[in-house]
């Protein structure tokens, strides 16, 4: 989820890298840029979760990343991500709720959840859309984003990251859509991010979308484009987005970015609500 524009902004998760792949990647030679054409997408989702059920998130679609900064990954966040715990992630009335709670757990002061579709729903290209409402309160750091399933080019940021929605509570109603690569990331001052201040991000649902094609990644909020990133044809360091990625949905507490202005304990429990997530297949013209 996450990372942002200055050197100290590490994305939720940026994490990501969760201490992932240390194996030596098989790196191909740079390719020519793909033809710069416009792509279209199917009008009916090829995969979705509409959350029209009750209880824990659908096990056929979602697993959990479990643990905390104490496990060696994260961005100095304050929460412990739990597994199959309805206090932190549940579905009711057509809505998925990720709930961050102030409570002692595994030596940390907060609990929350981080859902992943890894190994159950992995994708190469498509239109990815989520309708969501982010929480209010200083110290919250929600994200809906995507990571590579196989880490083809090595650990973060070499294999890439796509952020469909990111928000920090101290920056009310300002939302972000981003990508991260070895050549373009916050840690070296080359971050590629689209940012927009919208009305009522914490009280109303909005649609956040990324169109991912072989030639470009574009980001939209309520169908208004706020972000564009082109495939420059310079190899994986610029464009690692030729491999399968999967969904992540999480609500972090504090951390390198979310906790930049402290954490308001009175803001908890804090809830991120998701109406649906949908994937529309890319149509090969």
**Catalytic machinery residues:** 161, 166
DSSP code for 266: G
Within 122-172, strands assigned E span 122-123, 126-133, 140-148, 161-166
For residue 186, the SS3 value is helix
> CB 78: neighbour CB atoms within 10 A?
22
Strand partners, 47: 279
> What is the C-alpha to C-alpha distance for residues 226 and 114, in angstroms, rounded to an integer?
26
Half-sphere exposure at residue 139, Cβ-oriented, CA atoms within 13 angstroms: 19
Tokens linked to 92: 């009711």
Judging by beta carbons within 10 Å of its beta carbon (0-12, 13-18, 19+), is residue 188 exposed, middle or buried?
Answer: exposed
Cα separation, 281 vs 211, whole angstroms: 10
The contacts of residue 150 (CB under 8 Å, 6+ apart) are: 159, 243, 244
């Amino acid at each position: 989820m996450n990372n942002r524009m200055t050197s100290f902004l590490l994305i939720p998760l940026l994490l990501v890298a969760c201490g992932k792949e240390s194996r030596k990647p098989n790196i191909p030679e740079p390719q020519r840029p793909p033809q710069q054409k416009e792509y279209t997408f199917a009008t009916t989702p090829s995969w979705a979760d509409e959350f029209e059920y009750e209880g824990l998130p659908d096990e056929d679609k979602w697993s959990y990343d479990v643990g905390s900064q104490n496990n060696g990954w994260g961005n100095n966040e304050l929460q412990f991500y739990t597994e199959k715990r309805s206090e932190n992630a549940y579905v009711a009335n057509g809505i998925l709720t990720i709930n961050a709670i102030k409570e002692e757990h595994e030596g940390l002061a907060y609990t929350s959840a981080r859902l992943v579709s890894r190994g159950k729903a992995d994708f190469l290209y498509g239109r990815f859309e989520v309708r969501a409402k982010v929480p209010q309160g200083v110290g919250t750091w929600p994200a809906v984003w995507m990571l590579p399933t196989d880490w083809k080019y090595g650990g973060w940021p070499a294999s890439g990251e796509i952020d469909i929605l990111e928000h920090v509570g101290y920056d009310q109603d300002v939302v972000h859509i981003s990508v991260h690569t070895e050549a373009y990331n916050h840690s070296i001052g080359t971050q590629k991010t689209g940012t927009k201040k919208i009305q009522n991000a914490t009280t109303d649902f909005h649609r956040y979308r990324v169109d991912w094609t072989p030639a470009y990644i574009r980001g939209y909020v309520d169908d208004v484009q706020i972000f564009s990133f082109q495939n420059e044809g310079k190899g994986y360091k610029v464009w690692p987005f030729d491999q399968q990625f999967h969904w992540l949905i999480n609500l972090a507490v504090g951390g390198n970015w979310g906790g930049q202005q402290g954490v308001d304990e009175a803001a908890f429990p804090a809830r991120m609500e998701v109406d649906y997530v949908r994937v529309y297949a890319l149509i090969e013209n």
